[in-house]
């Protein structure tokens, strides 16, 4: 698997550094040697979940993509809630992994740019959808959407993390601040899709990741 990853990613122009245990991975990140981590959870010396905890607790913001054969919903949710940017299960296609890497890099670069330059929040544009995060305006094909405060907050949170897989639990915690009833989220997602999607039954903006949560389409 390591050889396959090294070969595939190197062909795409990435400089690849491989390590075989958690300790070496921690040291590489602490020395600021890498720009993104592809993390297997089944490491010989420390579980990958613990590594995510350690990195995020230390303030490290480096993108982390989990690559694992653990398919249980609970484990996927835990990794994402702790701060992983994405979760890819084995077997996987190299094209899919590279697309996820590019999305994580764009999301990370956007976060860094906002922090470093203290810029106003950008305008999100994807297809016919536009969301101005500063003026709290959302439009589709130039027509302003009439959203309830909760609907707008949900859309805002999804847009702020566009391209990233968000668990249902994380969305509920951030948007509803304590509510744990997933049915609330389903109802609001359904209502939001009716307002922004050309065909709500086949969404192109708010994508469902079955058993885990939702992913907002990255900006164009």
> Looking at 23-27, 90-94, 117-121, which range is the least confident one?
117-121
pLDDT band for position 77 (cuts 50, 70, 90): confident
Q: In the β-sheet with 137-140, what is the strand arrangement from edge to edge?
A: 123-126, 129-132, 137-140, 143-144
Mean pLDDT of 52-81: 88
What would the two tokens of residue 43 be? Answer: 């490491």
> Looking at 23-32, 89-98, 130-139, 179-188, which range is the least confident one?
179-188
Q: Is the pLDDT of residue 60 over 90?
A: no
Backbone angles phi, psi at 7, to 5 degrees: -65, -50
Cβ neighbours of 43 (radius 10 Å) = 18
Full-prediction pTM beyond 0.75? Answer: no
Domain limits, the chain = 2-116, 120-216
CATH number, domain 120-216 = 1.10.10.10
C-alpha 56/C-alpha 59 separation (Å) is: 5
C-alpha 118/C-alpha 142 separation (Å) is: 28
Per the CB < 8 A criterion, the answer to whether 48 and 65 are in contact is no
DSSP per residue, 84-137:
-SEEEESS--HHHHHHHHHHHHHHHHHHHHHHHHTPPPPEEEETTEEEETTTTE
Check residue 82 and give its pLDDT.
Answer: 87
All residues at 6 or more sequence positions from 8 whose CB lies less than 8 Å from its CB, including other chains: 94, 97, 98
Residues 102-134 pLDDT 10s: 988 887 777 666 555 544 567 899 999 999 988
Average pLDDT score over the chain? 88
Check residue 118 and give its pLDDT.
Answer: 45
Check residue 81 and give its pLDDT.
Answer: 86
Per the CB < 8 A criterion, the answer to whether 84 and 77 are in contact is no
All residues at 6 or more sequence positions from 159 whose CB lies less than 8 Å from its CB, including other chains: 124, 131, 133, 216
Residues 153-202 pLDDT 10s: 999 999 999 999 999 999 998 888 766 688 889 999 999 999 999 999 99
All residues at 6 or more sequence positions from 60 whose CB lies less than 8 Å from its CB, including other chains: 29
Instruction: Give the Å distances, CA to CA, from 158 to 23, 49, 175, 186, 219.
Output: 34, 24, 10, 14, 12
Cβ neighbours of 11 (radius 10 Å) = 10
Q: Is the pLDDT of residue 149 over 80?
A: yes
All residues at 6 or more sequence positions from 57 whose CB lies less than 8 Å from its CB, including other chains: none
Check residue 195 and give its pLDDT.
Answer: 94
CATH topology of domain 2-116: Rossmann fold (3.40.50)
């Amino acid at each position: 698997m390591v050889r396959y990853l090294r070969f595939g990613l190197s062909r795409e122009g990435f400089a690849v550094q491989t390590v075989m245990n958690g300790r070496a991975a921690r040291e590489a990140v602490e020395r600021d040697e890498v720009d993104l981590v592809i993390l297997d959870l089944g490491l010989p010396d420390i579980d990958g979940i613990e590594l995510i905890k350690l990195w995020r607790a230390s303030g490290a913001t480096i993108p982390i993509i989990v690559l694992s054969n653990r398919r249980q919903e609970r484990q996927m949710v835990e990794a994402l809630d702790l701060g992983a940017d994405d979760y890819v299960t084995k077997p996987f296609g190299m094209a899919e992994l590279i697309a996820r890497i590019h999305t994580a890099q764009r999301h990370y670069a956007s976060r860094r740019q906002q922090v470093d330059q203290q810029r106003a929040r950008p305008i999100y544009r994807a297809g016919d959808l536009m969301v101005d995060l500063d003026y709290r305006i959302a439009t589709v094909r130039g027509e302003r959407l009439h959203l309830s405060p909760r609907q707008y907050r949900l859309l805002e949170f999804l847009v702020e993390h566009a391209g990233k897989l968000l668990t249902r639990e994380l969305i509920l915690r951030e948007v509803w601040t304590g509510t744990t009833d997933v049915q609330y989220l389903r109802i609001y997602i359904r209502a939001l899709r009716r307002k922004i999607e050309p065909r709500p039954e086949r969404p192109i903006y708010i994508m469902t990741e079955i058993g885990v949560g939702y992913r907002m389409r990255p900006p164009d």
